[in-house]
Structure 1
Amino acid sequence: MDELVEEVAAASNRGWTPAGVPAFERVLDGLVRHAHRDRAGLAEALRPVWARQRLARERLLRHSGSWGVAEAVAAVVSELSPRDLRKPATGAGHYDAPTAVRAVRVREAAAGILAGGIPMLLAAPDGESGVVEPDILLERLRTYRRLGLRPGAADFDQALLRVRPDARWAPAGELGGRAGRRLAAWLANGGLPAPVSARVDEPERVHRRNTWYTEVSPRRILVRDEGLPTGRGDGFHAVFDRIGAATPSATGRYGHGAESAAWLGVLPWHREAVAARRLATLAACADSGARTTARDLPALAEAEAAPEGTAGLALHLALAYGLGAGHAEDRLAAVDALLVLAARRQLNPETLGGELGTLVGIGSVKGNRLTSALRSLAATGAYRTAWSVLRPVLPVVLAGEVPHRNAGELLGLAADCAERRRPAGDTVVGLDAVASAGGSSRRVREARRLRDALRPRQSGEPGEVVAVA
């Protein structure tokens, strides 16, 4: 209990919101579990923490809303009544989708505490991955059934979205009741199906806000999907409607404000759907000067990937925008994410390079920023990966009579990688024409160096590694 009280005290200084999804889930589940065992003892320990946050306390009691775990703490210390929880949450319509889900789940937990105590949250993850194992969820449901408790609607729905979709546990229907039957069907069908998605080329558009201010929305490559079946018609709590809402279409430019980690907290098995919902926001770090929006790319790369396996188009596009971000910290985050995917063998360098080539061609990604990011990648020793990503980009910067800006930098980095890895048989469209051109510009010099590095070596030439018996 002491550790829980310390975490609640720390959260009280952050708007009652623990830092990160794992901490939030740990604290909320801890409040529920300890209140079930000894609510009086927990209340005594938490009252000094609650009393110190007078302003937050008054705001919470005056205006119901999303204040992290505050409503659950207020329920423990008897500063909240069932009537308070029936008030509509002030400003709830302005929450992003993951925050709205969290707010409803906190209210359910608070209601359970006031009603005499639920033993645990069904949706509490087993570890940092955010996943719930089927056997653990089954045991929790058995406990609820033994105590004659009905699962909270949002808590159970969140548990379904987090449970490992393993059909071997489909006999969960033996539990009986609506929850048992629904879990059995969910596992037998492999969990939430991946949405149908498509690549969308959104043209540049001019928005005239008034007579003196015009805003230009740059051309972007995004991924549009048809949505996820998490609505009321699919048996879910109404708050999950927005989680499953279709991604922006070509006529509706908007981002999904919460960070990837918050989205993954709701949809840990669907990082591709999360990446699609974050793409418009991530693109802004490359074409609109936004900062820190790419810092959560490693969380996307590290997420549980099954059943999707290899990263999809949306995640590759997210990486592409991150590698072209305007700020170094965002580019480094993208490099970290790329390395994670490469280590897991979930990266498709040709797909990433192809999308980067498109983004460089339309001006969404600047060549100097991409060079900086891929040079950081190569500095880790990943020359082969850097080359594989660069090669599809090079025809774009080599094409045209007018030299592409930063072509020399990109060609120089490509030559560095090729000289170290000697990619046998690789060719680059347009390289010979530039390398054979007259002049001594950096573009021409680096093109010649790259051409020489790609030339097949004869036996015994310097640079060839010869096996010695």
Structure 2
Amino acid sequence: AAAQAAAWLAGGGLPDPEAGLKWGYMEGATDYLFEEREPSPGVAYVRLVPVLRAEPTGHDLIDELLREPRSWRWDGHGESMDWWPAVLPSHREVVAVNYLPHLLYQWNHAGVYPPYLEALCQADGPVGDATAIALAYFLSTDAERGVPLLLRMAARGDLPAAAVGRQLTHLIRRAGHQTRPVVAALAVAAREGAYEQVWEILRAMLPGLLPGEGERPNVTHTEAVTLAADVATWAKAGGEVPATVSAYAMSKRTSRFARECRRLRTQLT
């Protein structure tokens, strides 16, 4: 078996599988994906659906490592997750996919802890939505540990900033995470020097985060746009202005939210 594995590695080893996630939820007794339909009001249980598709290698034990995880966990499932980064150190997105069933609901079960994400930061290979949501989760729930990991990935040049921004918005909109701790964590990261990466995160966040039809801006929306205007200025950013920002910037409103929208629009244009 060792000789077969060595020959396989010498021939190029494992190509990068398709890896990522989808957001799902249960309504009644039926599972749905957000991309299929939006949940009814009051649906509380959302979940992360792992996506992992790899070409069979012909080696049973290797193929077992690349099997798509179930989106549901059970008793005893996940007790040895700290081994994953050592098993696949060159395919960290695959490792992150295997963390997904354990990420959102960690009480009374095996969970995903900051050292696991630290190991992902030290590993290699492509990063995508699965790695991004692990980082987004800790930025939202444990900024003291999450911000240094963001800075480390930014320094290495492998931070999936736009994916982190999208997943932060999903955590807020779909999983009930609070906006203010996220904005505070991103502000710390920007002041520590990662303002270009924080701008990319915020640029991906704002379209889904800012008030939509029938919603009114609140203080957290104002704080988010204020931080976006600051870091966009520091990064000398330009480009497309989010529709909500543009609408408020062109209005005659005098609220602080509207003023910060104007400041952001001015920087981007």
The alpha-carbon distance between structure 1 residues 316 and 226, as it changes in their structure 2 partners (threshold 3 A), is: same
Residue of structure 2 equivalent to 1:451: 265
Residues in 2 aligned to 1:344 and 1:391: alpha-carbon distance in whole angstroms: 21
Please give the root-mean-square deviation of Cα atoms over the aligned residues, in Å: 3.4
Q: Structure 1 residue 282: deviation in Å? A: 2.4
1:267 equivalenced with 2:115 (yes/no): no
Is the 8 Å Cα contact of residues 332 and 376 (structure 1) preserved in structure 2? no
Q: Which runs of 5+ in 1 are unaligned?
A: 1-177, 208-215, 456-469
**1:66-465 matches, cutoff 5 A:** 179-180=2-3, 182-197=4-19, 199-205=21-27, 218-226=45-53, 234-236=59-61, 243-249=65-71, 252-253=72-73, 257-258=78-79, 261-284=82-105, 293-296=112-115, 297-303=117-123, 305=124, 308=125, 310-325=126-141, 330-396=142-208, 397-403=210-216, 405=218, 406-455=220-269
Q: Once the 2 structures are TM-superposed, how far is the Cα of residue 401 of structure 1 from its aligned partner?
A: 3.0
Counting matched residue pairs gives: 252
Q: In the aligned structure 2, how far is the partner of 1:266 from the partner of 1:447?
A: 47
Contact 2:23 2:48 in 1 (8 A): yes
Please state how far the C-alpha of 1:202 moved relative to its aligned partner: 1.0
Q: Whole-Å Cα distance in 1 between the matches of residues 263 and 26 of structure 2?
A: 37
Greater Cα radius of gyration, structure 1 or 2? 1
Deviation at 1:416, TM superposition (A): 1.7
Identity in percent = 33
Compute the displacement of 1:445 (Å): 3.1
Q: CA deviation at 1:392?
A: 1.6
Return the offset for 1:198: 5.0
- Residues 324 and 331, structure 1, Cα contact 8 Å, conserved in 2: yes
CA distance in 2, matches of 1:228, 1:364: 36
Shift of 1:368: 1.1
Decide whether the 8 Å contact of 2:150 with 2:159 is kept in 1.
yes
CA distance in 2, matches of 1:282, 1:324: 12
Would you say the 8 A contact 2:17–2:54 is kept in 1?
yes
Greater RCO (CA < 8 Å, at least 6 residues apart): 2
Q: CA deviation at 1:292?
A: 8.2
State the TM-score, normalized to the length of structure 1.
0.47
CA separation in 2, counterparts of 1:275 and 1:191?
Answer: 20
Unaligned stretches of 5+ residues in structure 2: 30-42
Check conservation: 2:238, 2:267, Cα contact below 8 A.
no
Counterpart Cα distance in 2 of 1:319 and 1:277: 15
Shift of 1:386: 0.8
> Which moves more between the two structures, 427-436 or 184-193?
184-193
Q: How big is each residue's C-alpha offset from its partner over 1:363-392, in whole Å with a ceiling of 9 and x where there is no partner?
A: 444211210221121120211111111012
The CA distance in 1 between the partners of 2:266 and 2:155, in whole Å, is 30
Q: Classify 1:228/1:393 alpha carbon distance in 2 versus 1 (closer, same or farther; 3 Å).
A: same
Contact 2:135 2:146 in 1 (8 A): yes
Residues 226, 247 of structure 1: 8 Å contact kept: no
